[in-house]
């Protein structure tokens, strides 16, 4: 099951950065505090980049600091201030073809969860998701959180490639691929939406704090 | 202009990398061996982070359409200019229409072909590096193919002759390094203690063979499976090059230049930034051994590398000043 911490955990990513993991639940309240922490940490002189994850924050070092304990203390203080950030807050709806060629793991999801195929689809499309963070590949948004009935561990062997637009589930998370590539998640559907344009002034369609709804276009055999 | 004469080389345009966009999922791309890229650029008098052609251990032929000063640095691949053998890790002038032939290397993997003036592909999101998954940057966002013509900065009349460098696999070798076996230094990562005792021990003692499925995204390692004490379903978080992930019951994967910017498999360790060039240059099928270091030793290793970079820069300045 999910690995919730009881206190903030800070760990080194070699000499390149550190990872701050928030204590407590994988929920929006905690994520809002991560967005706020990212905003304030980005102004620290030792931080080159602040990258929110799912209730965690990766900070890239400008240069490896000599006194790691000091920078960790710094972060814990900022976290304890406890302020939240609302994020951008735009709303998007995406039409999805569930199952069929574009959703090869729908049957497996149904089998693993003990639900029917249409139940899996209706539960997945039946709630609003919040963009918690962007990452993995350009423009990809991690969405929280999945209905507990659809919780499923990641694949043990990642798929070599799933296409742009693939809608997939991994753990408590769901999302839609922004470009072709490998994935350790379970692919249940496909959307024609496009999520990234490197030539645009704002390259990523989605931003943390946005709300997403998947609409059932078709359920394919 | 430079003309690419071969298909299937998987060569791509790379500079130091694309930084500052990880928060929207854009990884750095950039040279797998940043040290070799820097040396190649300095040898031809470019800025250290200019764009070059990265050749991933494959043969490649190119034609220089105009006279240029070029350098080929990295894997120690045998190379010929119009049939005449070149010194490894060196710079030479080429006359117009000369053909450079780079062979498959035997001791290293990635080579960098730098041209005085640098390659003038468009800058996308602050970098000329090719983002292969995103299909942007570099030359049309893809690997190079036969017939591609690449523009570079103005050809320069003041050719600086022929001189070279001793490769870092010699000057910066680690104890135990031998043909077919490279050592890289690793800091334990967040989930290190969650691995079973026997798996932690195996991590440090195994000579991990680099799988043929390795590439710019990551090096997959062949050896014993690593087990967690208890299964762990983690929340996705940001990753950086060097992170070694090990899915429960699987074998380790070292994340590299084209890796996902985020993921959620348990992390057993991180190759220190100062040793990423060693990973990049270890040939597929050869072995890597992980050497445990603490943070202070990792910082010290970076200082040693930086001192060596400064030494190389001085040597190159000296040679160029002498008009060698």
The answer to whether the CB atoms of B25 and A13 lie below 8 A apart is no
Q: Which residues of B touch A25 (CB under 8 A)?
A: none
Give the residue, A154 or B64, on which the prediction is more confident.
Answer: B64
- Parse chain B into domains and list their residue ranges: 2-166+308-321, 181-293
pLDDT per position as a tens digit, B14-34: 999 999 999 999 999 999 999
Is the Cβ of A173 closer than 8 Å to some Cβ of chain B? yes
* In contact, A211 and A92? CB cutoff 8 Å: yes
The answer to whether the CB atoms of A134 and B295 lie below 8 A apart is no
* In contact, A21 and A30? CB cutoff 8 Å: no
Model confidence at B292: pLDDT above 50 = yes
Sorting pLDDT into bands at 50, 70 and 90, what band is A82?
A: confident
Share the mean pLDDT of chain B. Answer: 95
ipTM of the prediction greater than 0.90, yes or no: yes
Instruction: Report pLDDT for B162.
Output: 85
Length of chain A: 221
Give the residue, B249 or A185, on which the prediction is more confident.
Answer: A185
Give φ, ψ of B207 to 5 degrees.
-90, 100
DSSP character at residue B112: E
Q: Which residues of A touch B23 (CB under 8 A)?
A: 38, 49-52, 134-135
Looking at domain A91-220, what is its CATH homologous superfamily? Cyclophilin-like (2.40.100.10)
Model confidence at B288: pLDDT above 50 = yes
| Nearest-by-Cβ selection for B133 from A3, A12, A137 | A137
Sorting pLDDT into bands at 50, 70 and 90, what band is B53?
A: very high
Instruction: Report pLDDT for A1.
Output: 45
What's B267-287 look like in SS3?
Answer: EEEEECHHHHHHHHHCCCCCE
pLDDT per position as a tens digit, B87-123: 999 999 999 999 999 999 989 999 999 999 999 999 9
Lowest mean pLDDT across B222-226, B249-253, B296-300: B249-253
Q: Which residues of B touch A180 (CB under 8 A)?
A: 133
- Residue showing tokens 């206190």: A7
Dihedral (C-alpha) A125, A130, A135, A140: value to the nearest 10 degrees? 40
Q: What distance in Å separates residue A96's CA from the closest CA in chain B? A: 22
CATH of domain B181-293: 2.40.100.10
- Kindly indicate whether the domain formed by A9-81 is annotated with CATH number 3.30.1360.40: yes
| Nearest-by-Cβ selection for B233 from A3, A50, A133 | A3
Q: Which residues of B touch A133 (CB under 8 A)?
A: 236, 262
Instruction: Report pLDDT for B157.
Output: 52
Decide if A9-81 and A91-220 have a common fold.
no
- Residue showing tokens 């637009």: A165
Q: What distance in Å separates residue A140's CA from the closest CA in chain B? A: 6
Handedness of CA A37, A43, A44, A50 (dihedral sign): positive
Share the mean pLDDT of chain A. Answer: 94
SS3 content of chain B, % helix, strand, coil (to 5): 20, 30, 50
Instruction: Report pLDDT for A182.
Output: 85
Model pTM?
A: 0.94
The answer to whether the CB atoms of A135 and B260 lie below 8 A apart is yes
pLDDT per position as a tens digit, B137-181: 999 999 999 999 999 987 655 556 888 899 999 999 999 999 999
Instruction: Report pLDDT for B233.
Output: 80
136-155 in chain A: CB under 8 A from chain B: 136-140, 142, 153-154
Q: What distance in Å separates residue B141's CA from the closest CA in chain A? A: 11
Instruction: Report pLDDT for B178.
Output: 94
Instruction: Report pLDDT for B283.
Output: 96
Instruction: Report pLDDT for B303.
Output: 97
Nearest residue of A to residue B194, measured between CA atoms: A3
Cα separation, B74 vs B54, whole angstroms: 9
Q: What distance in Å separates residue B295's CA from the closest CA in chain A? A: 7
Q: Which residues of A touch B298 (CB under 8 A)?
A: 14-15, 64
- What value does the CA radius of gyration of chain B take, rounded to a whole number of Å? 20
- Parse chain A into domains and list their residue ranges: 9-81, 91-220
Model confidence at A6: pLDDT above 90 = no
Mean pLDDT throughout B279-300? 97
The answer to whether the CB atoms of A136 and B263 lie below 8 A apart is yes
Instruction: Report pLDDT for A184.
Output: 86
Instruction: Report pLDDT for B159.
Output: 54
Q: Which residues of A touch B25 (CB under 8 A)?
A: 134-140, 178, 196, 204
């Amino acid at each position: 099951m999910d690995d919730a911490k009881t206190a903030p955990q800070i760990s080194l990513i070699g000499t390149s950065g550190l990872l701050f993991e928030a204590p407590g639940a994988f929920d929006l309240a905690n994520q809002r505090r991560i967005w706020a922490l990212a905003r304030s940490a980005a102004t620290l002189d030792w931080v080159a980049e602040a990258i929110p994850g799912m209730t965690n924050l990766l900070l890239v070092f400008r240069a490896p600091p000599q006194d790691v304990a000091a920078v960790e203390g710094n972060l814990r203080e900022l976290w304890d201030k406890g302020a939240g950030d609302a994020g951008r807050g735009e709303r998007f709806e995406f039409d999805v073809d569930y199952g069929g060629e574009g959703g090869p793991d729908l049957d497996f999801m149904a089998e693993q969860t003990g639900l029917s195929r249409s139940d899996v689809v209706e539960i997945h499309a039946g709630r609003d998701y919040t963009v918690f963070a962007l990452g993995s590949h350009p423009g990809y948004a991690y969405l929280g959180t999945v209905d507990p009935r659809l919780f499923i561990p990641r694949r043990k062997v990642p798929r070599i490639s799933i296409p742009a637009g693939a809608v997939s589930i991994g753990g408590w998370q769901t999302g839609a691929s922004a470009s072709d590539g490998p994935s350790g998640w379970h692919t249940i559907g496909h959307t024609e939406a496009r999520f990234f344009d490197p030539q645009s002034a704002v390259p990523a369609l989605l931003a943390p704090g946005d709300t997403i709804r998947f609409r059932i276009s078709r359920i394919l055999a | 202009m430079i003309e690419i004469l071969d298909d299937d080389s998987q060569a791509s345009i790379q500079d130091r990398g694309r930084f500052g966009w990880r928060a929207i999922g854009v990884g750095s791309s950039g040279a797998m061996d940043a040290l070799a890229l820097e040396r190649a650029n300095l040898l031809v008098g470019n800025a250290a982070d200019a764009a070059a052609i990265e050749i991933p251990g494959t043969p490649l032929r190119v034609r220089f359409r105009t006279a240029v000063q070029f350098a080929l640095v990295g894997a120690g691949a045998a190379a010929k200019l119009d049939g005449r053998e070149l010194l490894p890790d060196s710079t030479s002038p080429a006359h117009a229409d000369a053909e450079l032939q780079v062979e498959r290397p035997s001791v290293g993997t990635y080579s960098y072909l730098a041209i005085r003036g640098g390659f003038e592909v468009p800058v996308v999101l602050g970098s000329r590096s090719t983002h292969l998954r995103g299909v942007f940057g570099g030359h049309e966002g893809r690997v190079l193919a036969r017939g591609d013509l690449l523009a570079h900065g103005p050809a320069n009349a003041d050719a600086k002759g022929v001189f070279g460098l001793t490769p870092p696999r010699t000057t910066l070798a680690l104890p135990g390094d031998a043909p077919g076996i490279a050592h890289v230094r690793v800091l334990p990562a967040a989930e290190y203690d969650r691995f079973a005792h026997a798996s932690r021990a195996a991590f440090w003692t195994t000579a991990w063979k680099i799988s043929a499925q390795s590439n710019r995204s990551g090096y997959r390692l062949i050896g014993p499976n690593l087990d967690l004490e208890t299964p762990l379903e983690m929340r996705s978080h940001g990753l950086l090059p060097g992170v070694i992930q090990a899915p429960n019951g699987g074998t380790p994967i070292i994340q590299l230049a084209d890796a996902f910017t985020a993921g959620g498999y348990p992390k057993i360790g991180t190759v220190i930034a100062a040793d990423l060039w060693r990973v990049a240059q270890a040939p597929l099928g050869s072995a890597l051994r992980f050497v445990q270091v603490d943070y202070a030793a990792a910082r010290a290793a970076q200082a040693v590398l930086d001192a060596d970079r400064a030494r190389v820069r001085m040597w190159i300045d000296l040679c160029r000043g002498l008009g060698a």
